[in-house]
Structure 1
Amino acid sequence: MQRTSFLTKTAAFLSFCLFAIATQAWAGGDHLKVYLNNKLIHEQYVGEPVKLSNLQLDKANVNDQLTFHYSHCGKIGTGRKLSIRDDKGGVIREWKFADASGKQSGMVIAVKELLQLKQENLRFFYTATELPKGQLMASFQVTDKTTSWVPGSSVLQFLC
């Protein structure tokens, strides 16, 4: 009788521990959200399969805004920057953002600024004090008529 009670309590305790570890690890992973005019267009967590999206931007979007939210293990980064880089890693354009005081502080970029770039194979990178080497977030194809956006798969290559 005591043996059965001990085994039941042990199994319950182990189940609780596994559940606590699993939910804590998921809640603390790096996370990216991208909005176009406050409408969620892409969301990615570390460990999820890569989601491919395609965003077409043209002159009709000239007054629109893209907002990026990136959290490191559940916390907003410090010294945050978004940059556009060419195939060789050279920085073409960089935006710096103040440290966030709230839970989610977006990094806003005017679509007009992206449409002004006239190069192909551009890459969108996020860097912060917590991620100094940077993280590929998306690739861009900019032409006179449209801008195509495909989220970067390397957003999944690191763990907390």
Structure 2
Amino acid sequence: MQQIKSSHAFIKMFTLITLCFTVFGFTPKFGLDSYEISLNNKLVLKVAVNQPLSSRILQLAGAKQSDQLRINYTHCTTKTGGTSRSIELRGNKGNVLKKWAFADGTHSNETMTIAIKELLLLRKGNAHHDLSLHYASHELPKGETLAFLKY
């Protein structure tokens, strides 16, 4: 009788372990969205979206009009850039000053480029505003604050 109870317990334990491996072995791997911002080809900001907004400061004090801001946003679920991508420059109260639209991101084309010349022109017209960059896509319709601009 004791032998039968022991083998039933062993079978139940083995079944539970097998079930756990089966269920957890095929779940998708999720992570965090992340992005990198480069001035020309020099990395100036690398952020995972769980980092506080206070650490998302983009210094543009030494930027020249001929420079390019390059942004690579990677979604956790696709590991590529999104679809229907856009970046907005916003003022103090969240008002959109300029919106740039970009082609869908692929493994070979994830970079979104903004001319520093455009940012400097928009800053002149909004000298008393705190400016910030915001990203949105089909995968992230509510958007994400990328960085607060400091000149």
Residue identity (%): 33
What value does the CA root-mean-square deviation take over the aligned residues? 3.0
Instruction: Tell me the SS of whatever aligns to 1:113.
Output: helix
1:35 maps onto 2:51 in alignment: no
TM-score (normalised: structure 1): 0.65
Indicate which of 116, 131, 149 corresponds to 1:140. 149
Aligned pairs for 1:3-22 (under 5 A) are: none
Distance change (3 Å), C-alpha of 1:40 and 1:132:
same
Q: Hey, which of these two has a bigger chunk of strand by percent? A: 1
Which stretches in structure 2 are left out of the alignment for 5+ residues? 1-6
Q: Cα distance 1:77–1:53, how it changes in 2: closer, same or farther (>3 A)? A: closer
The 5 A counterparts of 1:55-66 are 55-58=58-61, 61-66=64-69
Amino acid corresponding to residue 67 of structure 1 in structure 2: R
1:111 corresponds in structure 2 to 116
Structure 1 runs of 4+ off > 2 angstroms? 17-21, 23-26, 48-60, 100-104
How many pairs are equivalent?
138
Give 1:85's match in structure 2, choosing from 73, 87, 90. Answer: 90
Does residue 102 (structure 1) correspond to residue 111 (structure 2)? The answer is: no
Provide structure 1 residue ranges, at least 5 long, that are not aligned to the other structure: 142-146, 148-160
- Find the structure with the greater CA-based Rg: 2
TM-score (norm 2): 0.68
* Structure 1 counterpart of 2:70: 67
CA distance in 1: counterparts of 2:47 and 2:74, whole angstroms:
11
SS of the equivalent of 1:44 reads: strand
* 2:56–2:146 contact (8 Å) kept in structure 1: no
Q: Which letter maps to 1:132?
A: P
After TM superposition, the structure 1 stretch with the greater mean CA deviation from structure 2, 36-45 or 97-106, is: 97-106
